[in-house]
Amino acid sequence: MGERVQKSSADEWDQVWIGAHVATMTNNGSAYGELKSAAVAIQDERIAWLGSTAEALDQAAAARRDIVRDAQGLWITPGLIDCHTHLVYGGNRVAEFEQRLCGASYEEIARAGGGIQSTVRATRAATFSQLHESALIRLRRLMAEGVTTVEIKSGYGLELAAERRLLEVARDLGERLPVSVRKTFLGLHALPPEFAADRQEFVNRVCGPWLETLAAAGLVDAVDAFCENIAFSLEETAQLLEAASGLGLAAHVHAGQLSDLGAAELASKWGALSADHLEYLSAAGARAMAAAGTVAVLLPTAYFTLRQTTPPPVGLLRDAAVPMAVATDCNPGTSPCSSLLTAMNMACTLFGLTPEEALRGTTCNAARALGLQDEVGKIAVGMRADLAFWRIERPAELCYGLGANPCAGVMHRGRMRGELN
């Protein structure tokens, strides 16, 4: 870092924030990588300098003083990263939610055409602008909590045109709003009814022409599969991972949500960026992930919504030194949640993560889960200036409040989204 510090001169800074407490999330020996009464200088869209407020004032004295901004004791963290969402979909499942609580069984609801297939029908029927409008509301809620990068999966179209529309909406949201979007083709999410009699043909299309078409259109950063007894097998998942690897695409796998099929090992074997859920994971699975550098993405709001009782084996993940990320899994069925701070709270209260682990889970480890660890997720010289400003006493407060949003401001690519509040 020293070398780059010397290269940056205060004359070149566009802005310097003084009087901040900075949770850098780097491994500088202190909790949260924290720097008290610190200053952060920004040049274009990058972090150009990091040091004490006194030093910054010294340096900036020679430059224009109008670049100095006073953070007035706010905490600054890396902009938060929600690395697992199904943010774009048609309709919602609120009627089912109510029916279930009024006594209907899952089976009755499924027989009446409910569940994931009802979201598929609503998604196929929705126009681009209808999908865009509803996703925008959820995305704005995430952004209001300091989110600067979000991963968005397709997977409710299950036919080429509808999958393409979902990914186009995701791309458009990232182009229009001050937030970075990563697009994931969740081709193997559920088997659509028209392929009920020929699942292999569906898998072949997803892994062949559909993936190739969507990737050629620049709509796919990574692929994903729901590997589970009620969804797709290890063999079917492997077919998609192999196809993605052939096209040079990254991968994620929904693994071990309801049972341990060995999906974490499979994800690791193919070098997937992440294996997600992991309520059911063996020590061998955790070791395989550690060896491959595959991140464990924990989704506590889905666990909460499904009222599951077996949490992910966090002790195993810690012992194996698997990096843990935390995300919302925002989706209409099992996690109608557009609050990453709530997911961080539940990662602590339900899964036993420490607040520091939860914040690493939505910053540096979430960046790693998206392959973006050299760009975002830490506050260090050369990293992108994606920052969140918080009116809190200490970083653990981000995990402590339920329904609280202490976000005072957000910077994306070196630009503030409005003034501090």
List contacts with Zn ion (CB under 5 A).
329
Look at residues 291, 247, 240, 244 and name the one whose alpha carbon lies nearest to residue 265.
291
Residue 35 or 152 having the CB closest to Zn ion: 152
Least Å distance, CB 252 to Zn ion, is: 9
CA atoms within 13 A of residue 327's CA, in its CB half-sphere: 34
Closest distance to Zn ion from the beta carbon of 86 (Å): 6
**Nearest to Zn ion of 56, 298 (CB atom):** 298
What's the rounded Cα separation, in Å, for the pair 21 and 35? 6
Query: 169 vs 231, which CB is nearer to Zn ion?
Result: 231
The residue number whose beta carbon is nearest to Zn ion equals 329
Question: Closest CB to Zn ion among 228 and 329?
Answer: 329
Q: Transcribe 23-75 into DSSP letters.
A: E--S-SSSGGGEEEEEEEEEETTEEEEEEEHHHHHHHHHHS-GGGEEE-TT-E
Do residues 305 and 335 lie in contact, with contact meaning Cβ atoms separated by under 8 Å?
yes
Distance separating alpha carbons of residues 230 and 193, to the nearest angstrom:
14
Give the helix, strand, coil percentages of the chain, each rounded to 5. 40, 20, 35
Residues 6 or more apart whose CB falls under 8 angstroms from that of 54 comprise none
Minimal distance, residue 156 CB to Zn ion, in Å: 11
Closer of 82 and 236 to Zn ion (Cβ): 82
Which strand (E) or helix (H) includes residue 107? Answer: helix 106-111
Q: What residues contact 80, with CB distance under 8 A and at least 6 apart? A: 145, 146, 147, 148, 149, 340, 362, 363, 366, 388
Q: Which of 221, 214, 78, 212 is nearest to 152 (CA)?
A: 221
Nearer residue to Zn ion within complex by CB, 187 or 414: 187
Least distance CB 155 / Zn ion (angstroms)? 8
- The least distance separating Zn ion from the CB of residue 117, rounded to whole angstroms, comes to 17
CB of 306 to Zn ion, least distance (A): 12
- Cβ partners under 8 Å of residue 134, min gap 6: 89, 90
Q: Which is nearer to Zn ion, 302 or 359 (CB)?
A: 302
Tell me how far, at minimum, the Cβ of 230 lies from Zn ion, in Å.
Answer: 14
Give 23 or 225: the residue with its C-beta nearer to Zn ion.
225
**Do the bridges between strand 387-390 and strand 34-43 make them parallel or antiparallel, or are there none, so unpaired?**
unpaired
Q: Which is nearer to Zn ion, 39 or 281 (CB)?
A: 281
Q: At what angle do helices 116-125 and 160-176 cross, to 10 degrees?
A: 70
Q: State the nearest-atom distance from the C-beta of 379 to Zn ion, in Å.
A: 29
